[in-house]
Amino acid sequence: MKRKHVVIELFGRQQDMMKLLNDVQRNHAAFKFIVHSKKSIVFETNRHGLRILRANRRKYNCKFTVNGVHDRRWQLFSGYRFILILLVPYIASLFIWTVEVETSHPEIQNRIEHKLKKSRIAPLQLKKNLPNEDVLRRNLMEDEGDLSWIRFEKQGVKFAVIPMQSPQVEIEKEENRSPSHLVAKTSGVITHFSLSSGEKVASLHSTVEKGDLLATGILEQGEKEVVVGAKGAVYANYWLEYSFSLPRTFQYKIQGEEKMRFTFNRPTFGKNLFNKENWNIIETDKQIEEKETNVYLEDGMEKTYIIPIVKMQLQRELGYEAVIQKEELLQVTYQKEKVTGKIVFLVNDNIATYEPINQGD
C-alpha cells in the first residue's frame, strides 16, 4: 500500500453514506477495500478522496474518522484475499499428496508399492476416489502369505499403508522328529504344495483319502534310496461338519453413530505456504462410539447371527492359515436357554501330518 492512502470509517445513515461515496467515485478518487456494517462503512482512499469527503460531509450529514496507518491484518482478512487463504489449503486437502508403505521389510514394501500402482493409488489423487478399504486390502493381500492384515491411515494429505505380518509359527525342531513321510489327516482335493524337502506323491487337484501318502521322504538316486524326510505343508479343500451350541441370549458390541469434529487452525503469518504440512487449516476427526447390545436368538436369525458366530469360533480353532470358503446349515434347534445345530464348512487348510519312516521302507 502506498503511504498517501488512508483508511476511512464513515458514519451516518446508509442512504447518506452511499451518496457521499458516489461523489468520491465520480471525482475519480482511489476507492477500494469496502467493508459494510450496520453503523459504518470502512474503505481505503487517497488524499484526493479525503479532500472530497471533507468538502461534502456536512452536505450529507456524515462523519468519518481517518486512520493514517493502514492495518495490514485488516487488509489480509478482507475480501478475496481471505477467501483465497482458506480456499487454496482446502482444495489442496482434498488430494492425496503422499503415498507411503510403512514397513521395515524392503521386499514387502516393493511388492505393495507395485500393487498400489496397479490399483492407481498415487499422489495427486482425490481422496474421494480412493477405492473401498476392504476391496483395496483384498487386492494388496493377494498372494501375500506373510501378511495377516493391512491397515490404512489418512493423515492430512498423507495416505499410509501399514502391512502387518502374520505371527511366526514355532516349527518343531528337526532333531526331535525322525525322518517322515507326509500323509493326509483327512480327505480332500489338493490345491497346492508347500514342501521344503521330500518328493510329491499325490498330484495337484487330485482327491485323497485319510491316510494317503502325499509326499515321500525317501528319494531315489540311481539304484540307491536316500532317506531325507519330507517337510512342509499340503493344502486341500475339504468339507468339515461342525456341531455348535450357543446361548439363546448373548451380548456384543456394535458401532454407534459416527461423529465428525472439525478443527480450524488459524493461518499464521510467517508460515511457509510451500510446506504441505501447513495446508491443514481445516482438520477433521472421526469419532465412532461403541454400544453394547443384547440379542435373543430366534428362528430366522441363522444367516445374520448364528452362522457368522459359529464361523468365527471355527476360525479360531483352525488357526489363521485356514480359509473358510463356504458354509451350509444342516440343522438348528432352538431350546429354552440355548441353540444347537450342525453346519458344514468348505475349508482350505494344510491336511498333511508326519508319519515316521519305518526301517523296512
Q: Which residue from 33, 27, 62, 61 is spatially nearest to 47, judged by alpha carbons? A: 27
Predicted local distance difference test score (pLDDT) of residue 218: 87
- Percentage of residues in the chain with pLDDT exceeding 70? 78
Q: Which residue from 42, 11, 160 is spatially nearest to 99, judged by alpha carbons? A: 160
Predicted confidence band at 73 (pLDDT cuts at 50, 70, 90)? Answer: very low
Separation CA 210–CA 202 (nearest Å): 13
pLDDT at 215 over 80: yes
Contact predicate 300/329, CB 8 Å = no
Per-residue model confidence as pLDDT tens digits over 134-173 = 788 878 877 776 677 788 887 767 888 888 776 554 444 4
pLDDT at 339 over 80: yes
C-alpha to C-alpha distances, 143 to 108, 115, 148, 294, nearest whole angstrom: 12, 11, 12, 39
Contact predicate 306/339, CB 8 Å = yes
Region of poorest pLDDT, from 56-65, 190-199, 332-341: 56-65
Q: Which helix (H) or strand (E) holds 314?
A: helix 307-318
Predicted local distance difference test score (pLDDT) of residue 81: 61
Region of poorest pLDDT, from 83-97, 147-161, 326-340, 346-360: 83-97
pTM surpassing 0.75?
A: no
195 CB-side CA count, 13 A: 23
> Could you tell me the three cell numbers for 221?
538316486
- Percentage of residues in the chain with pLDDT exceeding 90? 22
The whole-number average pLDDT for the span 259-277 is 59
Predicted confidence band at 6 (pLDDT cuts at 50, 70, 90)? Answer: confident
Contact predicate 334/248, CB 8 Å = yes
DSSP state of 336: S
